Amino acid sequence: MTVWAGRMQKSGAVVTILCALAHLAGHVANSGQPGSNASEAAMLQLMREYRIPDMGRSMQELVDGFSLTFTVMFLCLGLLAWSATKRGLLVITAAMLIESAIGFRYWFMAPNSFIWTATLCYALALLLDGGKKTG
């Protein structure tokens, strides 16, 4: 891998890890918030207290579980990307492109900015490495 390709790969890994840490910080900061008005408070109360039939979980528990899973998965992805081979980086880049499309449709700018930046870094790493043999 060329020097610049390696730098882009490592930069993407750092951005992916920062995304995980920012997501964790948001999760911790927003846990147990009362809501800023009566409508928000009522919605949050329903999310916390209403149990989904046949699942035994509240919507808030599902959201919390997804939030923590997102954090763990992006932390692991960033750590893997740090030392991935070109073939591994190709798989990571493809996964991040799919994640970018999902984020564009469903998420807001904070996580998307991390995801899009990391995806760009991974793609640049592959492009800068040129046609060298995958390994």
In the chain (135 residues long), the average pLDDT of successive 10-residue segments reads 94 98 92 84 90 90 93 97 96 96 92 96 94 57
**134 assigned to some structural domain:** no
Exposure on the CB side of residue 115, measured as CA atoms within 13 A: 22
**123 assigned to some structural domain:** yes
Q: What is the pLDDT of residue 98?
A: 96
Q: What is the pLDDT of residue 132?
A: 61
Which residue, 84, 93, 80, is CA-closest to 127? 93
Exposure on the CB side of residue 37, measured as CA atoms within 13 A: 1
Q: How many structural domains are present in the chain?
A: 1
Residue range(s) defining the domain that contains residue 43:
3-129
Question: Can you tell me the distance from the alpha carbon of 133 to that of 131, in angstroms, rounded to the nearest whole number?
Answer: 6
**135 assigned to some structural domain:** no
Q: What is the pLDDT of residue 33?
A: 79
**102 assigned to some structural domain:** yes
pTM of the shown model: 0.88
Q: What is the pLDDT of residue 89?
A: 96
Q: 3-class DSSP state for residue 51?
A: strand
Question: Can you tell me the distance from the alpha carbon of 54 to that of 124, in angstroms, rounded to the nearest whole number?
Answer: 46
- Around Cβ 125, how many Cβ atoms within 10 Å? 28
**47 assigned to some structural domain:** yes
Q: What is the pLDDT of residue 58?
A: 93
Q: What is the pLDDT of residue 74?
A: 96
**58 assigned to some structural domain:** yes
User: Distances from the Cα of 70 to the Cαs of 22, 115, 133, in angstroms?
Assistant: 11, 12, 32
**121 assigned to some structural domain:** yes
**99 assigned to some structural domain:** yes
